[in-house]
Amino acid sequence: MILDRFRLDGKVAVVTGAGRGIGAACAIALAEVGADVVLAARTQAQLLVVAEEVRRKGRRAHLVCGDLSDPDAGAALAGDAEAEFGRIDVVINNLGGGRPGPLGHSSTEALEKAFRFNVSTADALTRAAADVMLRGDGGAIVNISSVVGRVAGRGFLAYGTAKAALTHYTRLSAADLSPRVRVNAVAPGIVLTVALQKLVGEGPARERAEASTPLRRIGDPQDVAAAVLYLATDASAYLTGKVIEVDGGLHALNIDLDLPDL
C-alpha cells in the first residue's frame, strides 16, 4: 500500500529545537508514524511535555537538554542518539532563528551569529549523524529553512541570508551524501510559532500577515510537520536536494512579506 511508505516503524529520528512550535510538531508526527524520537532543546520542561506526547503514541522518547550552538554539540547529540538506540535514520535540523533587523539596525556580528545558529548547528549534526547513517541503513535529513531565504522581506537581513545559505547547503550536502542519505528542506512561510505570536499578536499586524498570504491565513506548525513527514519517509524516496515551500503561496506568487515594521 502507498501509505506504508509514510511509516517509520523501527526507525530512530533526531529532532532539534524540539521543545515547542515546529520542532515539537515534527517530533510528535514522526512518533505517530512509528519512529522513536531523540528530542533536543535547551529547556527541559518543554522537552518533558513533548516526550509525554511521543510516549502517548506508543514510541520511545529520549531527551537531550543543552545548547546545540556549542561547536561540539552536534557530534555529542549524534553519539548520544546512537548510544541510546543503536542507530539514526532521520534527522530534523529545526534549530534556528534570529533577531529581526534591517541593514541599518543590524551588524556583522548579528550576521555571523545567524550563520552559527542556523547553518553551523545543522552542519555539525548532519556530519555526525551521516556517519552513523552510513554505517547503517542510510537515512533522511530534513533542514528547516525559511521563505525569507528565498524571497525578500524587510528586516530579515541576517536571518534570511543564513536561511538562504542553509537552503543551498541542503543541495550541496545532498550531492555529497547520495545515494544512501537523502537531504531535503522545508521552507516555512508565516507560521504561528511563539516568536511570531509575539511579533504580530492578534490585531492589525496579524490581519496584514494573513492578507499578505495567497491562502489568506497564517500557517500552523502541523502544516510544516506534514511536509517534513513526507521528506523523512520513503514517500519521498526519489527526492533529494529539494526544498518544499510551505508558505501559503508567498514564494510561488513572488509576494513580499508584509509584517510589522521591524
Report residue 236 as a C-alpha cell.
519521498
- Is 169 known to be catalytic? no
Report residue 224 as a C-alpha cell.
510544516
Q: Which of 159, 169, 230, 238 is catalytic?
A: 159
Residue type, 83: A
Which one, of 180, 181, 11, 7, lies nearest residue 85 by Cα?
11
Q: So which residues are the catalytic ones?
A: 159
